[in-house]
Amino acid sequence: MQRLTLASLLAAASTAALANDWTRIRIGVEGSYPPFSQMGPDGKLIGFEIELANALCAEMKAQCTLVQQDFDGMIPALQARKFDMIMASMSITEERRKSVDFSDKYYKTPNRFVVKAGTKFQFTTEGMKGRKIGVQRATINDRFVTDVFKQSGIVRYAKQDDAYLDLTAGRVDALVVDGLAAERGFLKTPAGKGYQFDGPLLVDPKYFGIGVGAAFRKQDAALREKVNAAIKAVRANGTYQRIAAKYFDFDIYGDAPGK
């Protein structure tokens, strides 16, 4: 009898999951990655991705809850059902596609080295030998630096802001970061005065993917398609462009790669 009851409960849960119409959606966000996602002075989440998430929810007529999560725990938390999807500047890569599915892209930017102005580094394996390179943990930059700069000291951070602090304190020699996030969240702030981009644009799809998208559990194809339709709709009706114009003076959707 106990086995039958357990089987019935599991069947009911499975049926409920299949019947989910996604009118209530929990979205995993980071909250410490300006200008995409950060805490405002009033303690509320602000940023491009936050506004875009709210616009997508309005388009889907869904009641959404934003759930903060450190980036390195995003995919495990998604799989553990802490939330239903991720919007956290997560680049669409083949490696990540092994464990999650992605929406269509919603922005795309190149990654860059950031160093102190006047620094003369050769951004090769030999040229960076013995140097300390900072990256945010579990990002595409982490994987790239780990694979390519094996003779460098790699310093990993849970939050990008902590990496900027260590760069300005001289505890690392260079950072590898999303170029747009670095420009708007660091280089154009008082803390970033005296620092600059250097080296080549980092755009190899093997590491840096084909753009940034929302991530989903593989079994939630219906939610993914609903979000894809909403992305198309907000781009078609001008909502996407109005939100982007608050943060950027160029087309962030564009065609040069993106965490």
- For 131, residues 6+ apart whose C-beta sits below 8 A from its C-beta are 121, 152, 153, 173, 174
What's the pLDDT score for residue 19? 56
In the predicted model, is pLDDT for residue 9 greater than 70? no
In the predicted model, is pLDDT for residue 95 greater than 50? yes
Domains 2-108+210-247 and 111-202 share a fold: yes
What's the pLDDT score for residue 178? 95
What's the pLDDT score for residue 11? 47
In the predicted model, is pLDDT for residue 185 greater than 50? yes
Contact 175, 134 (CB under 8 A): yes
Please report, rounded to a whole number, the percentage of residues in the chain having pLDDT higher than 90: 88
231-259 residue pLDDT tens: 999 999 999 999 999 999 889 997 544 45
Distances (CA, A) of 221 to 20, 100, 103, 215: 11, 11, 10, 11
Judged on CB neighbours under 10 Å (0-12, 13-18, 19+), 201 is: middle
In the predicted model, is pLDDT for residue 181 greater than 60? yes
Distances (CA, A) of 152 to 124, 125, 174: 10, 8, 11
Greatest Cα-to-Cα distance within the chain, rounded to the nearest angstrom: 75
The model's pTM: 0.85
155-176 residue pLDDT tens: 999 999 999 999 999 999 999 9
- For 229, residues 6+ apart whose C-beta sits below 8 A from its C-beta are 60
107-124 residue pLDDT tens: 998 999 999 999 999 999
Gyration radius of the chain's alpha carbons: 20
Would you kindly state where each structural domain of the chain is located, as residue ranges? 2-108+210-247, 111-202
In the predicted model, is pLDDT for residue 136 greater than 70? yes
What's the pLDDT score for residue 15? 42
In the predicted model, is pLDDT for residue 67 greater than 70? yes
For 2-108+210-247, the fitting CATH number among 3.40.220.10, 3.40.190.10, 3.40.50.300, 3.90.700.10 is: 3.40.190.10
193-244 residue pLDDT tens: 999 999 999 999 999 999 999 999 999 999 999 999 999 999 999 999 999 9
Distances (CA, A) of 138 to 53, 116, 239: 22, 24, 31
In the predicted model, is pLDDT for residue 180 greater than 70? yes
Q: Domain spanning 111-202 has what CATH number?
A: 3.40.190.10
Task: Tell me what the mean pLDDT of segment 57-65 comes to.
Answer: 98
What's the pLDDT score for residue 109? 87
Written as one letter, the residue type at 44 is K
